[in-house]
Chain A
Amino acid sequence: MSTTEFASHGWWERYKETVNEDPEMEVRGHDKFDTNFYIEIGDERFLIEMDGGKVEEVVPNPALNNRWEFGVEGDRETWEEFVAETPPAFNHEIIASNYRAAVRNEENRLELTGDNKKIFQNLRAFQRALDLMREAHNDGGGS
């Protein structure tokens, strides 16, 4: 388990490093994954600014001057399940969690928001970026 609290500044710094050193992101995201997305954890929102498959910056509390195509929203407990080394069923991956929320109307799931076309155009790189939250959280032990 992480010694740096989930979604703290230090945690995001390690996340940035994890994504930027990930060989699969190089292969799957190529250098074309430039789409910004946000992560909402309870009342906190973080904008992940992507540039060429790398996390350029994680911006807390993005506002009017920022732009993004899509995001993922969930409460803190759900996100903590998502990043657990062995996450529980249905909160173990974004499409799984979103399906249980959007189609089956379940609470305590992660939900996708924004431009669905952009989500599917960037699906694998975006999904990998989310899975790497687990890897960063567990010092490389997850994903």
Chain B
Amino acid sequence: MSAEEIEAVDEVTGRYVTVDIGGVEHRVYFEENGPEDGIPLLCQHTAGCNNQEWREVLRDEEITDEFRVIAYDLPYHGKSAPPTSQEWWEEDYSMTGEEFAERIVAIADALELEDPIYMGCSMGGNVSLELADWYPERFRAIIGLEAGAHSPGFYIDWLDHPEVNTTEVNAYSCWGLMAPQGPEHARRETMYHYEQGANGVFKGDLYYYSVDHDYRDKLSGIDASETPLYAINGEYDYLTTPEDARDIAEGVGEGATAMEMADIGHFPMSENPTLFNAYLKEILADVTGERDEALPDTITPEDVGVEVEKVKAGAVSEEAD
């Protein structure tokens, strides 16, 4: 009997794709679920982390009924090992906005995705601005979660220091980015994913996040009239607040939408998957035009029928009214 025929086997599948990035071949790992002809929803993880953050989006039957959800590990993250042709151990890992955007587009190209929706969180949310500026024609819509035009102060030496337990520190410097309303197991798992990052990669990603990325004076140069841009930030995200999302929408103008997610923080898809997936369905319905009304300024658990206390206690949200 093949794995596909066994009921207990998850429908999410993992595979590798060879991606040419600037003339260097990378073996990139991705997981996917959903119909082959579904609308591709390409998911970018947060700094120093990997695609495991998206597992409950990949497993949501309502989402994967319509969308082909694809979550990849950026090179140097998760199962996307550094390229074998490079002597990567001789230099610090560090990423710029140009490199980041190029890698995302190269992965979309290698997978031959037609009109995908891009969705990224944190550094993946920030880069939604570079993508909207430089590659708008490549995407059907661009969703930046926990996005900011500028997010200073998180390029920290202690995150890659020989006298610090960086495995623990890289994770737990992020602990307060999550909202206390999320279930404990999900918040702990989010930190567990963070503990799996390679030395120096979190800090190198944060070079992009806190140093290289600064779109404060460039927002008006983004044309989102053809490819809609969403900036969706959690109430408890202290790095990129809901106010930062509103600033993006205001600065970009036509085609840009901001929304605050109540009771959730900087890692929405993994810190509180039940609540986030309910929020996400509203965003995706807006992208596809299935939603009649504009998205609200702030979306709350009540709006999507989720009882926060039940979810926090580990109950299944779908049982909520």
A residues whose Cβ falls under 8 Å from a Cβ of B: 28, 86-87, 89-90, 92-97, 99-100, 102-103, 116-117, 120-121, 123-124, 127
Contacts and interface: CB of A to CB of B under 8 A. Distances in A.
Contact of B175 (A100, A120, A127): A127
Given A86-B181, A116-B158, A121-B165, A127 B238 contact: no
A93 B169 contact: no
B154 to A, nearest CB: 8
B172 A124 contact: yes
Q: Name, among B172, B181, B235, the residue most crowded by chain A CB atoms within 10 Å (CB to CB).
A: B172
Interface in B170-184: 172-173, 175-177, 179-181
10 closest pairs, A vs B, by CB? A93-B176, A96-B176, A103-B153, A120-B158, A96-B238, A89-B236, A124-B172, A95-B176, A120-B164, A124-B168
B7 interface: no
Contact of A92 (B153, B158, B172, B236): B236
Given A92-B180, A94-B176, A99-B153, A121 B236 contact: no
5 contacts: A123-B168, A123-B169, A124-B165, A124-B168, A124-B169
A123 to B, nearest CB: 5
B4 interface: no
B185 interface: no
Contacts of B173: 95, 123
A104 to B, nearest CB: 8
Contacts of B179: 89, 92
B161 interface: yes
A99 B239 contact: yes
A121 B176 contact: no
Interface residues of B, number: 22
A123 B191 CA distance: 14
Contacts of B164: 117, 120-121
B172 A89 contact: no
Interface in B239-289: 239
B48 to A, nearest CB: 15
Interface of B: 152-154, 158, 161, 163-165, 168-169, 172-173, 175-177, 179-181, 235-236, 238-239
Contact of A95 (B165, B175, B181): B175
A123 B158 CA distance: 11
A120 B238 contact: no
Contacts of B176: 92-97
A102 B169 contact: no
A136 to B, nearest CB: 16
Nearest to A131: B175
B37 to A, nearest CB: 41
A100 B238 contact: yes
A120 B168 CA distance: 10
B225 to A, nearest CB: 32
A103 B154 CA distance: 9
A6 B177 CA distance: 25
Contacts of A120: 158, 161, 164, 169
A31 B236 CA distance: 33
A86 B173 CA distance: 20
A101 B48 CA distance: 25
A123 B173 CA distance: 8
A1 B235 CA distance: 24
Nearest to B158: A120
Nearest to B262: A89
Contacts of B158: 116-117, 120
Given A90-B238, A93-B175, A121-B165, 7 more contacts: A89-B235, A99-B154, A117-B158, A120-B158, A124-B168, A124-B172, A127-B175
